Every structure is written in C-alpha cells, then in structure tokens.
Chain A
C-alpha cells in the first residue's frame, strides 16, 4: 500500500493547554566561551555507564574520546574542551545517583583533536558505527543511545521516520532555534537516515505555535533540489502538551498506537529529535562528536534568558553567570522544562548531553500549595494521554495495592504530569505514581 502523508494530525486523547512561555524563541543562540573547568559524567545516556579511557594528568583535545563502554546500550563520551584531566570525582546526577566524572581544566585554546575527521560511511554497518562513535544520544531528553535506536532489527518493517520538533515543554526553545539556525542540517540529517534505513516517508512534526519553524522547514522540504521525490513533509500539530511524547507523537502522525511495553519500531516508526538529526548531519560532514549542546536558560530567576551553546560538562552556575546571573535568588532549579524536568539540589552540576533547558524559578513560582482532598472531578482522567486513571493509581499507590496498580496499567504512565497539572486539589499524582512503580519493581524483584 502506498503510504501518504497525513493532511492533518490524527486525534490523540487528553493533554493540557499549558502556557507556552517561549520567551527565547526569537533570540539568536549565544555561544559560551570555554569555562575554566568542565566536569564530564560517565553516564549521560540510558544504559551502561562508560569507563574513562584517559587518566588523570593526560592532556586532551576537543572531540577526543575520553570514555567508552563495551556494552551495546551505551555511548562514548568525548572531551568538550582542550586541557588537562585534573581529577576523577563523584558527582550526583539529577536523578540522585552518583557517577564518576572526569574533571578537565581547560587551557582556553579549544584545540581540536586530530581524531576528529569525517567518518567514512558506505554501508549500514558503517553508519551505525559512525553514529555510535559520534556519542549521539536522544537529545529530546531521554538520552537513549542513537545507534541503538537506528540499528533496527531486520524483521521490523520501518516505513516512517518522525522528526520530533514538537517541543511541547514550556520555556524550552532549544529545538526551535536548532530548526531556525541549522535548518539545512536538519534536512541533510533526515536524508542520511532515510538512505541508511530505506525509509520513504519522513514527517517533521512541529507544534503549530512555531509558525516560523514550520515556514522555514517547509521551504526546504518543498525545495525540489533538496527533496526531489517529496519524501519529507512538515506536519503542524496542535500545540497541546504532551504532543512531543513519543507515543503521542506517533499517534498524531500515523494514527498508530504503540502497544504497551513495545517500541516505536513495532508500529513501523522511528522517532528522532530534530536536534539529533541535525547533529548527525554535522557529524557526518565534520566528524566532530557531541561535545556541545544548545540549552535554553530561562525562568523567573534568570537575568537574561537566552539559548546558549555550551561545552558539555560546563557547570550550570557558569552558564547562568553567562546569562547575567540570577535576577533574584532561585528557589527551584530544573533540568528540563517545568512539566517533566527534574528539580536539582545544586547549581554546580554539569550540563550533560540530553539537557535542553535549565529553568530557574523564583520563590513565588517554586512554591506549591498544600494538596487538598480529591473531589473526583475527573480532570486527570480526561487529560491522561495514556488513558489511565491517575486518581485511582494514586489511591492504590498510597495503600500499596500492587495487584490493582498493575491492573490499572501503572507502568504505562510516562509521567508527563498532565494529571497533576490539571488537578484542582493539587494532588501529587505523579509522585504517587512513581512510588507505585517502585512498589511494583520491588515486588517483581522479590518474586
């Protein structure tokens, strides 16, 4: 059957109209000068942590591989500045776990390593290897190693590549700026993936609150020289949170529902973040691995919100200083957007690969109200994109009713936060669901 492009997005259940607050969408990204010191954690991805391949005292250059792993699900890590490895120390990641981090004292030169040269790509295997060597992980936030995602098993019939430029989190505009500032790379990246995976239908999905992105990408997608066979189309989506969540995005673009516990490949889709594909194109051209990242710095406590391109491993406080420092003392600092971002304890943590935003909130915005009793209004149910019943999940989690939690498909919750956002009683629904998931994991461990 000939696949066609959807004229308009398909219906997806639930969601919320969160405020956009895309204050930095029209600002040119600023490039941050190398900091005096970077701290590069050995785990910046889902999967096995890396082991350093350099030792304290070694001199390193930009783009040089400094850590790798033999595990399949992992991604190598590269030096983001040139200088000397001065220490290995433990650093707490935003999730609360401790990992080793290499500390590099920058010499300020940003000398590029001779290792950095365009990869030779002739076969699909070469391509997957190159993607692995680039250190690319899903830049949308999940940090899933890209070479694993692109190494689709032969038996899966992939017919659609979806480029995720929905960017539904408030504040965050890193992908928005990537699309505007690096739009040609987006298309080159899309074509590189197309040729390697043999996909004929590529949908760039953008929320309709970004008309400039839609226009820019449309111009290129309709350019006969770039896309002679019309394999690439931009699909404007409803600006509704969580439009950019992988399962929701696939539903909106293809009307397919990824079954529980399955992957996008099981419904013939590969989803890649727009910054990831643009990076891929740049890497194939230059060979420079993932050593810098565009991060949206915003929130009520930041003096001059902007998008900053920072070397990976730069401490957050340095980046904030680059943005004029704190306007008022921050009360909450988020890695990521306000809907799914993680509140961190300390602004000395480094920027890592999958960071796309640092949001600093002042006292007023950081404060949350005391929860009151659930009034059963059903807003959590009507908002849930996974069609779950958050209020019941909360009650069962509180009472530690593991069987009921499983019956109510708690593991399908992606913790998008729509339920808690909508809740008029301010119930900590996502928190309760996380506890419920932990209960199930523990129960499974015992059995």
Chain B
C-alpha cells in the first residue's frame, strides 16, 4: 500500500454531538428569557447581559492563557455561564459588580478547579451567592417591571414577591398571570416563566437535558407547598425556581449522571428550597439548595450507581437455589 492507514480503537463512527453544539443549544434556549428581560427591565438588562457574557469569555480566555492551557472559549460554555450570571442579577446592579461576579464564576469556581467538567459547584450560582454575601443591599435592590417607562424612574424600587410574602404583605404580590408573564420584580432572567419553560421544552426536545431533574424539582416543591398550605402556583413561579430547575440544576458537571441519582438530587433541591423559603431568614433558597446538592453529587452518585446488566439475576438465582 502506498498510503499509510490510520489505526485507532473502535468505534470509528461518532454521533456528531459536540460540547460546542450542546452549549449552543443551551444559549438558544436562554434567548427567550433574555429577550423577555430586556422587555421587562429595559435596555439596561441587555447591557448587563453583554457585560457578563463578554467578561466571562474574557476571564476564560485569560485564565486559560495564564495557566498555560489550551483555549476553550470556542466550546461556548463561558457564554452560557455569562448569560446565567446575568440572569441571576438585579437590573440595578453596577457593571463593576457584575464583572466581579464573572471573575468569581470563571476564574475561581471553574478554571481553578480544572475548567469545564471539573467544577464541583455551579459557577454562576456560586458567583451569585458570593455577590449576595458581599453586596447584600445592592443584590436585593429590585425595581418594578417596566420601570423605564415610569415618569419617576427614581422611585420605582420594590420588593420581590417572595420578599413580600416574607414581610407578610401578601396582598401586594402580583397576580398569577403577571407572574407567568414575568411582570414582577426579581433578577433579570428569572421572572418570565413562559420564556423559561419554552427554553426548557427546547432543551428536552433537543435531548440536551433529560426532563427528570426539572420535573422532580418542581414536583417536590409543589407537593411540599401543597402540604404546607401555601400558594403552589406562587411558589412555582416566584424566585429563581424555574431558572434554577431548568437551567442550573440540570448543569451536567454539577448534577448526577445516573437516572436515579438525578431524582435524588432534584428531590433534595426541592426540599431544601422549600425549607429555606419557609424557615430561613432569606426570602429565596434556590441558589443555596442547588449549591448544597451540587456538593452532595459524588455521594449521591456512589449510592445510586445503576445495577450492571445481569447482576441482580445472579442473586435471585442464588436465592432460589
């Protein structure tokens, strides 16, 4: 033979799925919520999103460079982190704080632990928690929806629905329809339930995520809320629950890879979320509950490993014999 042949291990065929394509699908799924946030909170929301995305990608590029590792910005995971970080910030936050959040998410949480696939907690959520601890007032400075159309843009701050609930001002909570459409106070990307659900359906249809985690998470919250005699629909639509259940708890790196493990993980997230909402001093508990469950993932995976083919049968036959 005059040409040299390539010899490699089987399989010699690949499905064509790549990390980049998966991340692109996640970005597409986040677009409806991004558009909704610009509509609800104005151009400033768009600026914040751009700030976060650009700073995250830059952080990824620079930190890989400094650590003398290959450039990974093309896998688009930093773009996803940037979007999610922006979605977890109030629109009033200063861009400097947002950039600080990006540094925490990408440099500290992601790259210092080895980059994509290695971080043990969700980067965007951890950044949000760090910012909440560092700038508690600025991180809960909510504005009313469509404030930019108001005649007095200075006097538009308000409380989030869960904050109102905690304060006992339940009568000021927006209607369920407003909550569904996103006309309420809150972080950028968490308010418009319709857009988030649309994105979730897209991800499930594209087989990027399995519906197990979102459904178990939301299901647990519903059951808990029902048993506690709370307004189930309000609980489902308020806070960062939908954003968290669909986009954060399903993060590959920080959620279990086994089917059963995903159920345990999601139920755990649901229980913790409701416990914090009902008994914690914070109004909202989605971030903390996901982060806590992230940390438990290795343990969950250890106990929920699937039964290998043919194993149980052997036991059964032994018992019969």
Contact = CB atoms under 8 A, between A and B. Distances in A.
A188 to B, nearest CB: 33
A430 B9 contact: yes
Residue with the highest number of chain A CB atoms closer than 10 Å, among B12, B21, B258, B310 = B12
Given A259-B317, A412-B310, A346 B5 contact: yes
Interface in B1-38: 1-3, 5-15, 17-19, 21-22
Nearest to B14: A421
B117 interface: yes
Interface of B: 1-3, 5-15, 17-19, 21-22, 72, 75, 77, 114-118, 210, 252-253, 256-259, 305-314, 317
Minimum-distance CB pairs A-B, first 8: A417-B11, A378-B257, A431-B9, A259-B314, A338-B13, A424-B17, A386-B309, A338-B12
30 contacts: A18-B13, A257-B310, A260-B310, A332-B6, A341-B10, A343-B10, A343-B12, A345-B7, A348-B1, A372-B75, A372-B116, A373-B117, A373-B118, A375-B22, A375-B253, A376-B117, A376-B252, A377-B257, A378-B257, A378-B258, A379-B17, A381-B306, A387-B309, A391-B257, A415-B10, A417-B10, A421-B14, A423-B17, A425-B117, A430-B9
Nearest to A432: B9
Interface in A362-410: 366-369, 372-379, 381-382, 385-389, 391, 408-409
Given A376-B252, A386-B309, A338 B116 contact: no
A420 interface: yes
Given A257-B309, A259-B313, A385-B309, A375 B17 contact: no
Given A345-B7, A381-B306, A382-B259, 8 more contacts: A16-B15, A247-B309, A247-B310, A369-B18, A372-B75, A378-B256, A415-B10, A421-B15
A374 B10 CA distance: 19
A339 B313 contact: no
Contact of A330 (B3, B118, B311, B314): B3
Nearest to B306: A387
Interface in A159-180: 170
A126 B268 CA distance: 64
B116 A412 contact: no
Interface residues of A, number: 70
Contact of A375 (B2, B3, B5, B116): B116
A417 B9 CA distance: 10
A334 interface: yes
Contact of A361 (B12, B116, B259): B12
Contacts of A424: 15, 17-19, 21-22
A375 B12 contact: no
A341 B12 contact: yes
A348 B6 CA distance: 15
Interface string A334-368: 10001111111111100000000001010000111
Dominant secondary structure at the B interface:
loop
A189 B67 CA distance: 65
B13 A421 contact: yes
A343 B13 CA distance: 12
Dominant secondary structure at the A interface:
loop
Contact of B309 (A340, A378, A412): A412
B320 to A, nearest CB: 13
A185 to B, nearest CB: 31
Nearest to A347: B1
A339 B310 contact: no
B6 A343 contact: yes
Nearest to A341: B10
A343 B8 contact: yes
A372 B118 CA distance: 12
B201 to A, nearest CB: 19
Contact of A376 (B1, B15, B210, B253): B253
A90 to B, nearest CB: 18
Contacts of B306: 381, 387, 389
Nearest to A21: B13
Nearest to B314: A259
B308 A345 contact: no
A340 B317 CA distance: 32
A42 interface: no
B11 A378 contact: no
Contacts of A51: none
B124 to A, nearest CB: 16
A11 interface: no
Nearest to B305: A389
